[in-house]
Amino acid sequence: MISYKGYNAVDLHVNGETREVVIKPSETLLSVLRDKIGLTGPKAGCENGDCGACTVLLEGQPVKSCLVLAVEAIGKKVVTVEGLHDTEVQKAFVEESGFQCGYCTAGFIVNSYALLEENPDADASEKVEWLSSNLCRCTGYEDIEKAVDSAQRIKNNSESR
């Protein structure tokens, strides 16, 4: 078993880069990403796993980074919203107005991206199960639903060509 005590200089693999950071075992991945690496895309909405605004990918799986310790990410690939570029999900959120204030958006985009990677043919109930882990207070969810559906359609069409 690996144990960490006090301050540790470690490498984190974030968005394709290796970043050396000094962390304590008690620090969450969210706080290290935001405060030590400067990736402020993931947001602290509740720090309790309830809102999903801090969602990032850990080895391709969406996790709430407020519930993951930074030491748990050592040796694993972390992707934040800043690591997604020109994806169908991002384009669709713009086109379908899938956000208003934008605070929940990074979490919704990362989670939707992971959903469509993991299960490109997700049906409506699978999408609800997956995306009900994120809260949005502005949109009433209809435009987010349209954005995810549209990204799924475009992505599947372009891949089947």
Partner 1 sequence: MNSNVLGHSPRRKESLDKVTGKVMYGNDYNSPRMLHGALKTSPHAFAKIKGIHKEDAEKMPGVKAVLTGQDLKENIGLYLCDKPPIARNVARHYGEVVAVVIADSLAKAREAADAVKVEYEKMDPILSPKEALKAEAAVIHEEMATYSHIKPIHPEPGSNVANRSKIRKGDVKKAFDEAAFVVETNMVIPPGDHVAMEPRVSIVEIKSTGEVHITSSTQAPFVVKNLMCHFFGLHPGKVVVTAPMVGGGFGGKAGIQLEGLAYLMSLKVGGRPVKLVNSREQDLLASPGHIGLESNVKIASDEKGKLLGMDLTYCFNSGAYADYAVNISRAAAISCTGPYNVPNVKCDSMCVYTNMPFATAYRGFGHIEMAFGIERALDELADKLQMDPVELRKLNCIKEGDQTPVQSVMNSSTGDLETCFTRVEEMLGGNLGDVETINEEWVRAKGVSGLWKAPAMPTNTDAGAILTFNGDGSCNLNTGVVEIGQGTKTGVAQIVADTLDIPLEKVHVVMDVDTRTSPSDWATAASRGLFMAGLAAHEACVDAIEQIKEVASAVLRVSKSDLVVKDERVCSVDEPSIGLHLSEVALGYVYPNGNAFYGQIIGRGRYIAKHLTDIDQETGKGHPDLEWTLGAEGVEAEVNLKTGQYKIVKAVCCIDVGKVINPDLALGQIVGGMAMGMGYTTMEGFKLNDRGQVTNGSLRDYKIMRYGDHPEYKVEFLETPQLDGPHGARGLGEQAVIGMPGAIGNALSRAIGKGLYEIPITSERLYKKLMEVSH
Q: Does 58 bind partner 1 (CB under 8 A)?
A: no
Q: Does 57 bind partner 1 (CB under 8 A)?
A: no
**In terms of CB distance, is 75 or 140 closer to partner 1?**
140
Minimum distance from CB of 1 to partner 1 (Å)?
25
Residue 57's DSSP bridge partners are 62, 79
Under a CB-based contact definition with an 8 Å cutoff, are residues 55 and 62 in contact?
A: yes
Candidates 32, 37, 54, 144; binder of partner 1 (CB under 8 A) is: 144
Residue 22's DSSP bridge partners are 9
CA quadruple 74, 27, 9, 114: dihedral sign: positive
Candidates 20, 59, 60, 97; binder of partner 1 (CB under 8 A) is: 97
**Window of 36-44, 57-65, 70-78, 152-160 that interacts with partner 1 by CB under 8 A:** 36-44
11-48 core/surface letters (b: 16 or more CB in 10 A; e: else): ebbbbeeebebebeeebbbbbbbbebbebebbbbbeee
Q: Does 128 bind partner 1 (CB under 8 A)?
A: yes
**In terms of CB distance, is 1 or 46 closer to partner 1?**
46
What contacts 50, CB < 8 A, 6 or more positions away? 135
- State the residues that interact with partner 1 by CB under 8 A: 26-27, 34-35, 38-48, 50-51, 53, 80-82, 84-85, 90, 93-95, 97, 99-106, 109, 127-128, 131-132, 134-145
